[in-house]
Structure 1
Amino acid sequence: MHMILDALWRAVTDCLRGRVMAWSLFPLLLVAGMAALVGVFWWDAAAASVQAWLEAASWLQWLWGWMGQGTAAASAVAAAVLLVLVISPVMVMVALAIVAVVMTPQMVALVAERRFPQLQRK
């Protein structure tokens, strides 16, 4: 149990290092920038397409008829929510891929340098 707590303590202290925090923020900033670009260039067209699809869906006609005059506003909100629900997992997967490519080799090098300097790297 002592070895597990020691490893946990070392991992926590390594996570609080400036380099590690910077490497952790890089994927977040990159994905936030990509989300902003997607929002600026494609959001309106994508939202309009999804809204048109929702309004034309035969299985939703009873809902639009029940709502009456509020159909345009309701379908616009539903389209925006649907887009966010579809795009969010994609952004998370892209962030994880960036972490795997950028941060993992840096963390392996940091741990090897600080904890296992005597090991030969292959």
Structure 2
Amino acid sequence: MQKTIDAFWRAAAYCLHPRVIWLSLLPLVAAAVLSVGLAHFYWEPAVTGVRQILDGWAISQTLLSWLDTVGAAGFRAVIAPLIVVVLAVPLLVVLSLLLVATLMMPALVRLVVQRRFAGLEVRHEAPWWTSLGWSLGATLIAVLVMMVSLPLWLIPPFGLILPPIIWGWLTYRVMAFDALAGHATAQERTTLLQDHRLPLLVMGVISGYLGAAPSALWAVLGAFSVVVAPLLIVASVWVYTLVFAFSSLWFSHYLLTALRDLRAVEPGPELVVLERVA
């Protein structure tokens, strides 16, 4: 627990570093261009498609008719855009995580190594396609779980618990691998991920709850969020980027410390020779 807290405060302090702030803008620019482009070409078709689906469901028509009777007829015009936004936000979370893992994580790990672990030996450097494949595999699993569990999100307890757990697991899998990819051997990485699985998962879940801040902002703004959706999406991506940048630093400080401690207790050459003779 002490090492987890120590890594937490170090990561928070590193977020104020000019290089970290500058790096956080790179995924933001990429995500903003992609979001604006997708909204320009696919916003209207997506809203139209959702309205057609709602028109074909008897339960949605019953709900809309009830809203008309209670004086909330104006909600009929914004329900389809709101559904599109709600479906887009989880995808933005995954996009932000992948952008951070690709554009920021290696630079952030190098920053931590330069400032704190300059003497740490590089025993193995995983190729970039290995890290990409690991991230894509974990992302695919998280998206599948998200899609399967999506109906449960409408139930208040599950809606507050499931998304952070899913994002937390994804963050833990992606960040932990990338934090060790530049120094640890495959055996060291496997050992550390097994020995520290629970703290790493807790760190991921906490990061997931921190990443829920933009979703809370959407909920507070309610129907007005449709009006400012393009701006709010870009702002959400930046918040997600900062959260994931913090998570990258947190995992880097924790796991590189764990790697250093693991190597510190390795048997010396004399002990290895005696064991082989025996």
Q: Once the two structures are superposed, what CA deviation does each residue of 1:37-89 show, in whole Å capped at 9, x if it has no partner?
A: 11111001110111111122122232344538x9x964431100000000011
On the 8 A contact 1:20/1:107 being kept in 2, the answer is yes
Structure with larger Rg: 1
Retained in 2: the 8 A contact 1:55–1:75?
no
1:82-111 Cα offsets, whole Å, 9 max, x none, are 000000110111101111122111111111
1:54/1:64 CA distance change after superposition, 3 Å: same
Shift of 1:119: 2.2
Aligned residue pairs: how many? 121
Q: Which amino acid aligns with 1:112?
A: V
1:85 alignment partner in structure 2: 86
CA distance in 2, matches of 1:63, 1:120: 62
Indicate whether 1:49 and 2:30 are aligned. no
Q: In the aligned structure 1, how far is the partner of 2:36 from the partner of 2:65?
A: 35
Shift of 1:5: 7.2
What residue identity is the alignment partner of 1:21?
Answer: I
Which residues of structure 2 form unaligned runs of 5+? 124-278
Deviations 1:12-50 (A, max 9, x none): 442212111111222223222211111111001110111
Structure 1 residues without counterparts, runs of 5 or longer: none
Q: In the aligned structure 2, how far is the partner of 1:19 from the partner of 1:53?
A: 46
d(CA) in 1 for partners of 2:38, 2:6:
44
Residues 86 and 120 of structure 1: CA distance in aligned 2, closer, same or farther (over 3 Å) = same
Whole-angstrom distance in 1 between the partners of 2:87 and 2:3: 42
Alignment of 1:90-101 (within 5 A): 90-101=91-102
Question: What's 2:32 paired with?
Answer: 32
CA distance in structure 1 between the aligned counterparts of 2:38 and 2:28, rounded to whole angstroms: 15
| Equivalent residues of 1:31, 1:94 under 8 A apart | yes
Aligned-residue RMSD, C-alpha? 2.9
Residues 1:8 and 1:93: Cα distance change in structure 2 (over 3 Å): closer
Counterpart mapping for 1:1-122 below 5 A? 7=7, 10-66=10-66, 67=68, 74-122=75-123
Say whether the 8 Å CA contact 1:54–1:60 is kept in structure 2. Answer: yes
Percent identity, please: 36
